[in-house]
Amino acid sequence: MGQLRIHILGGLTIQRRGYPVTGFNTRKAMALLVYFACTGRSHSRQTLAEMLWEDRSQAQSLTNLRGPLSRLRQTVGPYVTITREMAGINLASSWWLDAAEFERALSGAAQTTAQLETALELYRGDFLEGFFVDSQAFEEWTRIERERLHYLAIDALDTLITRHLGQGAYSAGITCASRLLQMDNLREETHRQLMELLALAGQREAALAQYETCRRLLNDELSVLPTPETTALYERIRSGQLIRDRSTGNEIVHRTDTVSSRPRHNLPVQTTPFVGREAELADLARLFADPTVRLVTILGPGGMGKTRLAIEAAAAQLDHFTHGVFFVPLAALPTPADIARALADAIGLQFEGGGPGSEHRNAQQQLLDYFRQKHQLLVMDNFEHLLEGADLLTAILQAAPGVRILATSRERLHLSSETVFTLGGMAFPGLDSPEDALHYDSVQLFLQSARRVRRDFDLCPGDLPSVSLIHHLVGGMPLGLRLAAGWVDQFSLEEIVQELS
């Protein structure tokens, strides 16, 4: 049968045994094959019909679907599974998809330079570049996939540039930076990296010319000037402070730390150790590792520890976001219109003035322009009273493929991109086995909190039934446990149980 090879990065090519597969007749037949391969599963005929013919009645769209499915049977029959109800890729057949190989090469916590280079060899261009079908739903799916894969390629290139610069592989770094700027010519950080690479490679004039290119593009496209960081690097290159010793190959002056320092953050400093929630942190880490998950809402009532969990989860991501992790407190904001200002304050963005009545529009546009080339995680804390302003989050996610958002709220944001992470109370010991209480993180939290008001506080075996009952009465709620523990300097555990009851 031979392997079916589907290339969708940089256009669409379908081959078998090294030869193009022909005879599809319609683009929608090819679109179906691509959709099957990318999703890797079967779909109901009704779903497929509605996706490709959303403007037709259900009966008509199902009738229209028969033609492309019949064509797939004739051209790539062994590679697809088509029944009266479902249709999809045949997982038992031998087929290969370049986008899947590209993502596989980029999977894992840390990729080697060779893996990154292998992945980028596969990325010949944007997802389904130049391929269109008359279907709004399919084109929307294509747009989302295109942006997602485009960003993965940019992130891989950015990582390679950082490595090449740190290792003194200036020629390879220049190649990667030039390619990245072809994909996104408004990434000021990459212009800065290329300037540095050129200067350290002995190409001082080219480095100065790169600054002028950057300045012109930012002015023409965004009506902004280069940041002081970029201008300072330009001055260092122009004055000869950033050059390479031609006899040794070493830098004479230590280069800027624009790419080697740990990303910035403004996460609040915590005054107490974080206790428990290992399973929740692991689940959140898995969500962050999924590039299709852009917005996560930690959902739960007050007192469940949403904010603290969000801060801990965000802190674990510091090394995964090139441009940092930023905490945006929202609890004190009176109206949704204040969200833009809170965001700007958190990331250190100074808004430029606008005309009368245009402040909110200009502020939002400036935020979108800022985030457009950023790889950042935003922690939006206590969103429940600002739900009418949630559209700003959608605008940011659409404008900036590299931005991810972690929100905390007592209510869902009701956005299509939202992944809800419901947070309940901490696990607590059962009333029938209080002797196991000390093994629970919730009890350790209670102990930690109690010792802050009574340093000598400890639990003996006779205390464990009362402690277990306290946990049941507050439902494992962290705030409830801390408040109850705050009474140990005034009441016995039995009295605390009575007060809670």
The reply to whether CATH 3.90.980.10 applies to domain 278-422 is no
Q: What percent of the chain has pLDDT over 70?
A: 88
CB contact at 8 A, 284 and 241: no
What's the pTM? 0.53
Pull the structure tokens for residue 231. Answer: 């201008």
Position 262 scores a pLDDT of 41
Inform me whether the pLDDT recorded for 396 exceeds 50. Answer: yes
Which CATH architecture describes the domain 168-261?
Answer: Alpha Horseshoe (1.25)
CB contact at 8 A, 275 and 243: no
For residues 98 and 9, give the distance between their C-alpha atoms in angstroms, rounded to a whole number.
Answer: 7
The two beta strands, 4-7 and 19-20, are unpaired
Inform me whether the pLDDT recorded for 256 exceeds 50. Answer: no
The two beta strands, 86-89 and 42-44, are antiparallel
Position 326 scores a pLDDT of 92
- Which candidate, 78, 100, 132, 89, places its Cα nearest to that of 7? 100
Inform me whether the pLDDT recorded for 79 exceeds 80. Answer: yes
Mean pLDDT of 124-141: 92
Position 430 scores a pLDDT of 60
Long-range contacts of 162-170 (CB under 8 A, 24+ apart): 162/193, 162/259, 162/260, 163/113, 164/197, 165/193, 165/196, 165/197, 165/200, 165/255, 165/259, 165/260, 166/259, 166/260, 168/200, 168/249, 170/197, 170/198, 170/200, 170/201
- Could you tell me where the DSSP H helices lie in 40-135? 45-52, 58-76, 98-105, 113-122
Specify the higher pLDDT residue, 383 or 303: 383
Least confident of 19-28, 144-153, 263-272, 326-335: 263-272
DSSP string, 237-257: HHTT-S-B-TTT--BSSPPP-
For residues 3 and 5, give the distance between their C-alpha atoms in angstroms, rounded to a whole number.
Answer: 6
From first CA to last CA, the distance across the chain in angstroms is: 72
According to the per-residue pLDDT averaged within each range, which of 18-22, 32-36, 275-279, 480-484 is highest? 32-36
Inform me whether the pLDDT recorded for 272 exceeds 70. Answer: no
Note the maximum CA span of the chain: 83
Least confident of 122-136, 180-194, 235-249, 295-309: 235-249
Mean pLDDT of 116-131: 93
State in words which class domain 1-153 has: mainly alpha
Least confident of 136-150, 352-366, 386-400: 352-366
Report residue 166: phi and psi, to 5°.
-70, -30
Position 252 scores a pLDDT of 41
* pLDDT tens string 403-455: 999 999 989 998 988 999 988 877 666 666 655 666 677 777 777 777 777 77
Q: Is 314 exposed, middle or buried (0-12, 13-18, 19+ CB in 10 A)?
A: buried
Q: How many CA atoms lie within 13 A of 408 on its CB side?
A: 24
Least confident of 41-50, 82-91, 122-131, 166-175: 166-175
